[in-house]
Amino acid sequence: MADPCRRALLALLAATPPAILGRTARAQPFPAPIRIPALQRLRAGIDLEGTATAWDDSTNGPAGMAVEVGALIADGLDVPLELVRTTTATAVAELRAGRFDLLLNAPPLTIEVAREVLYADPYAALELVVVAPRPLPLPSIAALRGRRVAAQAGYPLLLLPSRVPASQMDVIALPDLPALAAALADRQVEAAIVTSPIASRIAALYPALEVKLTLGTLWLAPACRFGDHDLLQAVNTMLYIARQEGTLQSLHQGAYDRPLPRPPFF
């Protein structure tokens, strides 16, 4: 190697900020694993659209169980919580790319998403349900075939293919509770597939509608990037402590008006 090249390399090394040589460089294509003792803040992704775990409160900003859980984890780590807004469509890719280090309301636990990220332990469990007018007979999932069905945009819509014969149904994506309720009331659709909190609110507003079927449990958990096992362990420990102290159960009861079920140990 020629001397000028060597000098250039040494000069470059001397001029390089320590941050680039350390862990904090965010522009790297492969984010380095989080080191808990060096953590300055918890950059947590939050999806405020189309989830039952977080939403934008017009006066107080981000709210919901996922936000509470984020605060609880950051508090346990003794660092400030920095919420980074993301969307259902981009959340997993942005976590993997290093835009934030923890995704508070990751997609509900599915084996497909488990190939993309490290799931922490679940902090909430909701049901995916079918709501329809009382007189409509819907005794089984098979009875949805050929029907015009609305689905809550976001994760409920994404999960449909694994829970119902979606290809044999006429599925319409609707953004929120008013749109879903209006579509049902106006008979634009015969049924709607939503999460249990939305179903409770629809049934309270429109007594002519009721829950017809349950399509299974949605386990909700934060997620980390592959390789971030120190952070994963820390998050799981905070969730474990919160569960032991009853905080998680209280948050769940308050948010969803139902108890947090025991994890499904085999």
Partner 1 sequence: MTSPGPMPRALPRRLLPALAAGLFAAPHARAAGEAPGAATGALGRILRSGIVRIGVWLEAPPWGSYDHDGTPDGAEVALARLLARDLGVRLRLQRLEVRDRIPALQEDRVDILAALVPVVPATRRHVAFASPHGELSVAVATRRASPVRSLADLAGLRVALPDNTFAAEEARTMLPPDTTQLLLPGLVACIDATAHGRADAAVSYGWLLRDLSLSRPELDIEPRFTVSHAHHALAMRLGEPDLLRFVNTFLYLRGADGTLAEIHERYLRGTPDVGPVFR
Per CB under 8 A, 247 contacts partner 1: no
In contact, 214 and 127? CB cutoff 8 Å: yes
User: Per rule CB under 8 A, is residue 226 in the interface with partner 1?
Assistant: yes
Give the binding-site size for partner 1 (rule: CB under 8 A): 46
Other Cβ atoms within 10 Å of 49 Cβ, number = 16
Q: Which of 83, 91, 95, 130 binds partner 1 (CB under 8 A)?
A: 95
List 60, 111, 135, 204, residue binding partner 1 (CB under 8 A): 111
Q: Measured from the CB of residue 227, what is the shortest distance to partner 1 in angstroms?
A: 5
Q: Does the protein bind partner 1 through residue 38 (CB under 8 A)?
A: no
Tell me how far apart the alpha carbons of residues 65 and 81 are, in angstroms, rounded to a whole number: 15
Number of Cβ within 10 Å of residue 37's Cβ equals 5
Binding mask 2-21 for partner 1 (x = CB under 8 A): ---xx--xx-xx--x----x
Counting contacts by CB under 8 A, is residue 31 touching partner 1? yes
Check residue 121 for interaction with partner 1 (CB under 8 A).
yes
Quick one: which segment of 96-104, 130-138, 181-189, 204-212 binds partner 1 (CB under 8 A)?
96-104
Figure out which of the listed residues 56, 112, 170, 257 binds partner 1, where binding follows CB under 8 A.
112
Q: Does 23 bind partner 1 (CB under 8 A)?
A: yes
Distance CA 82, CA 70 (A): 9
The distance of closest approach from Cβ of residue 95 to partner 1 in the complex, given in angstroms and rounded to an integer, is 7
Shortest distance in whole angstroms from residue 168 CB to partner 1: 22
> Which member of 55, 100, 119, 123 binds partner 1 (CB under 8 A)?
119
Applying CB under 8 A, does 37 fall inside the site for partner 1?
Answer: no
List 79, 84, 97, 143, residue binding partner 1 (CB under 8 A):
97
Q: Does 33 bind partner 1 (CB under 8 A)?
A: yes
- Does 118 participate in binding partner 1 (rule CB under 8 A)? yes
Which of 19, 26, 28, 175 binds partner 1 (CB under 8 A)? It is 28
One DSSP character per residue, the chain reads --HHHHHHHHHHHHHS-HHHHSS--SSSSSPPPP-GGG---EEEEEE-SS-SS-EEETTTEEESHHHHHHHHHHHHHTS-EEEEEE-TTTHHHHHHHTS-SEETTPSPP-HHHHTTSEE----EEEEEEEEEETTS---SGGGGTT-EEEEETTHHHHHHHHHS-GGGSEEEEE-SHHHHHHHHHTTSSSEEEEEHHHHHHHHHH-TTEEEEEEEEEEEE--EE-TT-HHHHHHHHHHHHHHHHHTHHHHHHHHHHSSPPPPP---
Contact 161, 139 (CB under 8 A): no
Contact residues: partner 1, CB under 8 A: 1, 5-6, 9-10, 12-13, 16, 21, 23, 28-33, 95-98, 109-112, 114-119, 121, 216-217, 219, 225-227, 229, 232, 236, 240, 262-266
